[in-house]
Amino acid sequence: DTFQQLIEAAGGVVMERSGKEDDWGIEHGGQVKHEVGATRMGNDPKKSVLNPYCQAWDVKNLFITDAAPFVSNADKNPTLTITALGWRTSEYIADQVRKLNVKV
> What is the spatial distance between Cα 8 and Cα 10, in angstroms, rounded to a whole number?
5
- Tell me, yes or no, if 34 is annotated catalytic: yes
Catalytic residue among 34, 35, 37, 92: 34
> What is the spatial distance between Cα 33 and Cα 79, in angstroms, rounded to a whole number?
12
CA angle 104, 81, 26 (to 5 degrees): 120
Give, as one character, the DSSP assignment of residue 20: G
Contact 82, 52 (CB under 8 A): no
Residues 6+ apart with CB under 8 A from 68: 36, 37, 38, 39, 40
Active-site amino acid positions: 34
